[in-house]
Structure 1
Amino acid sequence: MNFSSFKEFKYGWRVVLASTFGIGLGMSPLPFYTLGVFAIPLTKNFGWGMDTVMAAMPVFTIGAVFAGPLVGYIADKIGARKTAITSVIIFSFTFMMFSFNTGSKALYLFLWAMLAIAGAGTLPMTWTRAINNWFNKNRGLALGLSLLGTGIFGSFAKIFASHLIDGYGWKYAYIGVALLPLLISLPLAYFFFRDTNDPKVADRVAKLRAEVPEYVSGNHSGLSVKQAFGDWRFWLLAFSFLLISFAVGGPIPNLEKLFSSKGFDVSDAVILASFLGYAVVIGRLIGGYLIDRFWAPAVAFILLSIPAVSCLILQTVDLSYTNAVIAVVILGFGAGVEYDLMAYLVSRYFGMKNYAAIYGFLYAFFGLGAGFGPYIFGRFFTETGSYNSILGYAAIAFVVGSIPLLFLGKYRTFKADTEEESVVA
């Protein structure tokens, strides 16, 4: 292996490290991965149905749909660093407020809406903006590494929340989970997370340019948001990510309940669901490495259609522990590709001029699928007592959502300081 090709990491590792913790302890994984764990005590203590608990996701999604593009625009204007740090603080305190609920459905849903608005700046669009500017040749791998946190901390958060609930109750568990970003990701972001246009890292950026001839700083090149809206590629990606995010996002918060319905006890259900995070880590690394070396849409088609198999396995009536692990690992592998793929494709097909804003709008479609998916899954279970039929629809969504990615065409390059684009031959 030629390690000289990884010189970008010599100068950009700090940003990758801060992003890994910032994304992993942010709005994307923490509420999403722990929802299924908190669902058990909430349904028990308040007498809510699973559909009531999962109704949080549509509310959360609607908040993210409005907040994501707005915060993306803000990040493009004032910088990713200020946006991310501010959001981490507000997000943490908002998450703590769930501990004050005494059974009010209205308060529960209101807090989910506020959480989406408060935490929008912790979404990958802010952190990956800096990653894309620090890395060119190893952009896919850097994005994969920075997004490892969703899998690592997703699995950890499930187990951590479960232990806190067992030992101290669900209210203290909310506080404990909410403290993670405040105590871990905030200090790392403050000291390490700086974009390439930050004066405090000017010397490091100059050395990067000198040592890595292939390095390209694209802070000011790319399409405007209006131009992106007029580009058919934007709507193709929106369609694909809407279906794929539904197929990936629908089962994940429901895994604990799904396994319980298959006869597993609560502790085994939580452990089985936690395997998802480990698979996400593997998917991030392998997916990031592959999209740096092969055409990303083809890699995405393969890796995002395979999880359809996991849905078919989970439909099994007498689901064994081994097959359950296999299904979760396959599903997690697909989940490990989606986020870094979106970041990579936005940078390659739309440029960096308005990266965060364009990412934010695409995330709105992604969020619609991921947000309404858990509720639809929960609704199917409430009405039928089984997840089997909705798992079949999810399997179809994986395949139908992956195929259009093959039509994206060649990567594009953008002329510096202009909004014109040219296609790489």
Structure 2
Amino acid sequence: MVSAAAVQSPKGAFATAQEHFAPSAGQEWRAHWTLVLAATVGMSFHSVMSHGLGLFMEPLQAEFAWSRSQISLGLTIAAMLSLPLSPVVGAMVDRWGSRRLALPGVVLSATAIACFATLSGSIAQWLGLWLAYALVAMLLKTTIWSAAVSSTFSTSRGLALAFALSGTAIAQVVVPPLAQFLIANYGWRTAYATLGIGWGGFTFVLLFLFFFDARDRRRLQRPGTTSEVASTGLGFGEAFRTPTLIRIAGATLISCLLNIAILVHQVPILVENGIDRANAAYLASLAGVAGIVGKIVTGWLLDRIDGGWVGGLSLSLPAVGFLLILYPTGTSAAVVLAMILIGYAAGTSLQICAYLTTRYGGMRNFGKIFGVMASLIAVGGGLGPTIAAAVHDAFGNYAPLLLVAIPASIVSGLLIVGLGPYPEWTEKEPAT
């Protein structure tokens, strides 16, 4: 039995007999691939609104004469709510598990998205709907999916997180062309209703059948038993006095602010660069494909190579993409390459943050610790599109934003490099 002081030390490395009997990557995947599938679809549904907003901007502007800043303000509301509430959701995950939050979260979020079809032109109604959506979508935050997968996978945790969090990139692939098709053929109201009820209904079925984290499985196998394996790691307060986790948080905030700003506005950016709207939507989808590949490749590398170096390179890549958009070469290949690089990096930032948080912070308070990280992610993701819209409204283009984004992306990557060796957290014996 490891002492409490030893367990909580982030620098000590401990080997236990349990490590010698850890399942192989293949064993983990054979036993729990359905959990990863359900988490992937759940994450994709959570990302529908952010990746669809760019497609709804022009129709809403045309019908209601709203500015892009007003339209983007909805994401800012969601971000501001996440700042205080994400740690609360993380604490709920630590106490009750992921399933008990995800199932009602999907039902409520699907209903909230469908309600956007009722917009009447009142900006107060628009913001009120975003407020309602942001509240219920808290039950589908990244923490839910990351905690479930991380509690189940150890040997192949990096790759499992990669697939689960690739739901964001899947939404990035599917939502732009799907929303464009629905808006063009049936109108933006039908598009909102279809994305909410259709995507949400499919998500609920998969979660109901397959989404069980480690705590859920223990509860089902041993009904009436309240004791469980106590994961080890940093205390909540201790975590945010640790320079390593502070650096991870700072890098993630910068990366999410920049990448989400560009991704939400990528269709308008491409249209202003002379690309027609339909092709711009498919290029946005291409960035999503790159995001999926980026997650899988990065996940495979994280299980084999120091995460600081992998993360540093990944978070710096958008600088090249931003440069290609800012100074186009006049060839379609340059635009395609830019979308691939930005999509690749955007696809990895959440995954890198979640993985490094489990490795450097442990699982004992992962929900609460990553809840704070999720707050920063949400702030970056919410402020980024609004800042991008404000820049466009002020200057008539996105060039000033891209000029700042290039060096900022490099800084984000440098914060992650050289974090040091992982602590080897052990687990206490189950209570009897």
Mapped pair 1:279 → 2:297 = no
Contact 1:238–1:365 (Cα < 8 Å) also in 2? yes
Residue 410 of structure 1 is aligned with which of 403, 407, 421?
Answer: 421
| 1:14 counterpart residue number | 34
Residue 50 of structure 2 is aligned with which of 22, 29, 32?
Answer: 32
| 1:221 counterpart residue number | 232
List, as ranges, runs of 4+ consecutive aligned residues in structure 1 with deviation greater than 6 Å: 200-204
Per the TM alignment, residue 365 of structure 1 is displaced from its structure 2 partner at its CA by: 1.1
| 1:350 counterpart residue number | 361
Tell me, in whole angstroms, the C-alpha distance in 2 between the residues paired with 1:147 and 1:199.
22
Per the TM alignment, residue 290 of structure 1 is displaced from its structure 2 partner at its CA by: 0.3
| 1:97 counterpart residue number | 115
One-letter amino acid matched to 1:335: A
| 2:406 counterpart residue number | 395
Mapped pair 1:335 → 2:346 = yes
Q: What are the equivalent positions in structure 2 for 1:152-301 lying under 5 Å apart?
A: 152-199=170-217, 219-301=230-312
Residue 161 of structure 2 is aligned with which of 130, 133, 143?
Answer: 143
Q: Unmatched 5+ residue regions in structure 1?
A: 205-216, 419-425
Per-residue CA deviation, residues 195-227 of structure 1 (Å, 9 max, x unaligned), is 1233468779xxxxxxxxxxxx97522223222
SS of the residue corresponding to residue 349 of structure 1 reads helix
Distance 1:103 1:372, change over 3 A: same
Distance 1:190 1:385, change over 3 A: same
Tell me, in whole angstroms, the C-alpha distance in 2 between the residues paired with 1:100 and 1:64.
25
Distance 1:255 1:319, change over 3 A: farther
SS of the residue corresponding to residue 293 of structure 1 reads coil
Per-residue CA deviation, residues 383-403 of structure 1 (Å, 9 max, x unaligned), is 111111211111111111111
SS of the residue corresponding to residue 251 of structure 1 reads helix
One-letter amino acid matched to 1:120: M
One-letter amino acid matched to 1:132: S
Tell me, in whole angstroms, the C-alpha distance in 1 between the residues paired with 2:72 and 2:184.
21
Mapped pair 1:132 → 2:143 = no
| 1:51 counterpart residue number | 69
Tell me, in whole angstroms, the C-alpha distance in 2 between the residues paired with 1:378 and 1:138.
40
TM value normalised by structure 2: 0.89
Alignment length (residue pairs): 402
Mapped pair 1:82 → 2:100 = yes
Contact 1:218–1:352 (Cα < 8 Å) also in 2? no
Per-residue CA deviation, residues 297-334 of structure 1 (Å, 9 max, x unaligned), is 11000111121000000112564322211111100000
Per the TM alignment, residue 70 of structure 1 is displaced from its structure 2 partner at its CA by: 1.3
| 2:335 counterpart residue number | 324
Tell me, in whole angstroms, the C-alpha distance in 1 between the residues paired with 2:370 and 2:241.
15
Cα root mean square deviation, aligned: 2.0
One-letter amino acid matched to 2:259: V
| Identical columns (%) | 28
SS of the residue corresponding to residue 109 of structure 1 reads helix
| 2:10 counterpart residue number | none
Contact 2:82–2:375 (Cα < 8 Å) also in 1? yes
Contact 2:249–2:353 (Cα < 8 Å) also in 1? no
SS of the residue corresponding to residue 410 of structure 1 reads coil
SS of the residue corresponding to residue 263 of structure 1 reads coil
Of residues 381-390 and 224-233 in structure 1, the stretch that sits farther from structure 2 once superposed is 224-233
SS of the residue corresponding to residue 352 of structure 1 reads coil
TM value normalised by structure 1: 0.90
| 1:384 counterpart residue number | 395
